Chains A and B, each alone.
Chain A
């Protein structure tokens, strides 16, 4: 891209905010009642986090997340969002990659073990419960809200929250795709002057800060090193 410094957020805009919200309205109508599955699975993850630490618990959570990432890759990005922007096909691959990472590390190798810690839990709960409500408050209709498990933003933010709950080192390799998505989504919403554009951006910044702090703390030996075993 030549003269890249002359490009602004307005240049990446390729559809209107009204069209973007309608995209979710039509998508939500088409996949109903998958949203209930998403919310139910979110509550199940919450319940699993409260159960005793076992490897299978991490595997179950990773499997649920991987399934949702794959769903969003295909049902949202490839089938819906791709009708508005050619870049959605790349987003679909990215979401597919995240699903594969979660499957490999979390389900096959059992390397994801979760424990309840406040920042991660708060971010997960925010994506599950608060984010759809903020959408309603900021101008979306209830038909246009984004729900965990079926819409990309809450799925990415909830995943970041859960990855913060993983024991051991920070799982940066699994955070790359969700963080990247938050940046893309935030920039897209900002380009359309959407009132909820700050949500993915603030969430991503918060997660990066918390994860960086944890990495530094581990390096300085302030946090106990734990094995990734149940």
Chain B
């Protein structure tokens, strides 16, 4: 049985100092608490991920340009600084994988990274070599998530990915599509295969997935990543011509990017949105959507109505 604590002079002084420090730290702690990043659990494991990730399509495809690569590394650095974790890429995105690897290398491979990549090749037999090449580009020991890109040869690739998962060479397996294409087929695969993730296009104007894919994902306990949250920038350019509505403050949005992202990640089936950007200030704005209040159903409808009216 442990002995009761005794209070000597040193302990007393330490306690007083601690009490003083606590009175100073409380507001800071409270402030930090209000900056607690919002996360949602991956249904298949319960592991929690922040609501906003980082895409790499177009923005990180900068080739050998060292200046541009350094700029991308800054974006990745700002993303991690703000509390982000999920970075998404694909062999289809040109040099994006290498640029991510370059950035991770510069940043000392932050441990919070959740690496999400894809297999995108028509030949199932060449899938493993493509995945290995992607892994080398990233410079990671293994991917956290591997998805079949745009359902390409999914019948051949999924067995490979499930075997990799079983062998501990990847943690999660998924499937992607974009722009509302091939949803019937995706639905079929979601019903028949033990997927951890799907990735679909979802934003305030492209909401086809609300009808079948998102409800099915909840039913089948599949995590959802949402691509093209800003319609390749077209949506945000469009809405940015108008002032941010005053009621955006009710859900702690300081800019349009946060309002558009909060619409996406407030859907209960959605785990994460993955906006891409080439600017560190934009990535900070984006990740800002992972903090504060989220819209309820009425507010979600209000966002849709307002954006449609612009």
**Is the Cβ of B180 less than 8 Å from the Cβ of A16?**
no
The interface bits of chain B over 233-261 (1 if a CB of A lies within 8 angstroms of the residue's CB, else 0) are 01000000000000000000000000000
Residues of A within 8 A of B58 (CB): 13-16
Interface positions, chain A 76-100, Cβ under 8 Å from B, are: 80, 83-86
**Is the Cβ of B61 less than 8 Å from the Cβ of A19?**
yes
Binds B, one of A2-10, A53-61, A162-170, A205-213: A2-10
Residues of B within 8 A of A23 (CB): 63, 65
**Is the Cβ of B179 less than 8 Å from the Cβ of A83?**
no
Docked complex Cα distance between A22 and B62 (Å): 9
- Given the interface contacts A14-B94, A84-B94, A86-B94, does A19 sit within 8 Å of B180 by beta carbon? no
3 tightest A-B contacts by CB?
A: A83-B63, A15-B61, A84-B94
**Is the Cβ of A14 less than 8 Å from the Cβ of B232?**
no
- Given the interface contacts A83-B94, A83-B95, A85-B94, does A2 sit within 8 Å of B62 by beta carbon? no
**Is the Cβ of B232 less than 8 Å from the Cβ of A15?**
no
Docked complex Cα distance between A38 and B65 (Å): 24
- Given the interface contacts A22-B68, A80-B63, does A15 sit within 8 Å of B180 by beta carbon? no
Q: How far is the CB of A158 from chain B (nearest CB, A)?
A: 26
A31 lies within 8 A of chain B by Cβ: no
29 A-B pairs with C-beta separation under 8 A:
A3-B181, A3-B182, A6-B179, A6-B180, A6-B181, A10-B232, A10-B234, A13-B58, A13-B232, A14-B57, A14-B58, A14-B92, A14-B93, A15-B58, A15-B61, A15-B94, A16-B58, A16-B278, A19-B61, A19-B65, A22-B62, A22-B65, A26-B64, A83-B64, A83-B94, A83-B95, A84-B63, A84-B94, A86-B92
* B57 closest partner in A (C-beta): A14
* B181 closest partner in A (C-beta): A3
**Is the Cβ of B65 less than 8 Å from the Cβ of A26?**
yes
A11 lies within 8 A of chain B by Cβ: yes
Q: How far is the CB of A16 from chain B (nearest CB, A)?
A: 6
Docked complex Cα distance between A2 and B64 (Å): 33
Docked complex Cα distance between A85 and B234 (Å): 22
Interface positions, chain A 140-158, Cβ under 8 Å from B, are: none
**Is the Cβ of A16 less than 8 Å from the Cβ of B63?**
no
Residues of B within 8 A of A86 (CB): 92, 94
**Is the Cβ of A11 less than 8 Å from the Cβ of B179?**
yes
Residues of A within 8 A of B63 (CB): 15, 19, 23, 80, 83-84
Q: How far is the CB of A77 from chain B (nearest CB, A)?
A: 13
B81 lies within 8 A of chain A by Cβ: no
Considering only CB atoms and an 8 Å cut-off, how many residues of chain B contact the other chain?
A: 20
| A2, A6, A80, A83 interface centre (most CB from chain B within 10 Å) | A83
Out of A2, A16, A80, which one reaches B59, CB within 8 Å? Answer: A16
Residues of A within 8 A of B278 (CB): 16
Q: How far is the CB of B99 from chain A (nearest CB, A)?
A: 10
Docked complex Cα distance between A26 and B234 (Å): 28
* A10 closest partner in B (C-beta): B232
The interface bits of chain B over 83-96 (1 if a CB of A lies within 8 angstroms of the residue's CB, else 0) are 00000000011110
Residues of A within 8 A of B180 (CB): 6
The interface bits of chain B over 33-72 (1 if a CB of A lies within 8 angstroms of the residue's CB, else 0) are 0000000000000000000000001110111110010000
Docked complex Cα distance between A182 and B68 (Å): 28
Interface positions, chain B 158-191, Cβ under 8 Å from A, are: 179-182
Q: How far is the CB of B180 from chain A (nearest CB, A)?
A: 7
Q: How far is the CB of A24 from chain B (nearest CB, A)?
A: 11
Out of B61, B92, B179, which one reaches A84, CB within 8 Å? Answer: B61
| B59, B65, B180 interface centre (most CB from chain A within 10 Å) | B65
Residues of A within 8 A of B234 (CB): 10
The interface bits of chain A over 10-36 (1 if a CB of B lies within 8 angstroms of the residue's CB, else 0) are 110111100100110010000000000
Residues of B within 8 A of A19 (CB): 61-63, 65, 68
Q: How far is the CB of B213 from chain A (nearest CB, A)?
A: 16
* B183 closest partner in A (C-beta): A3
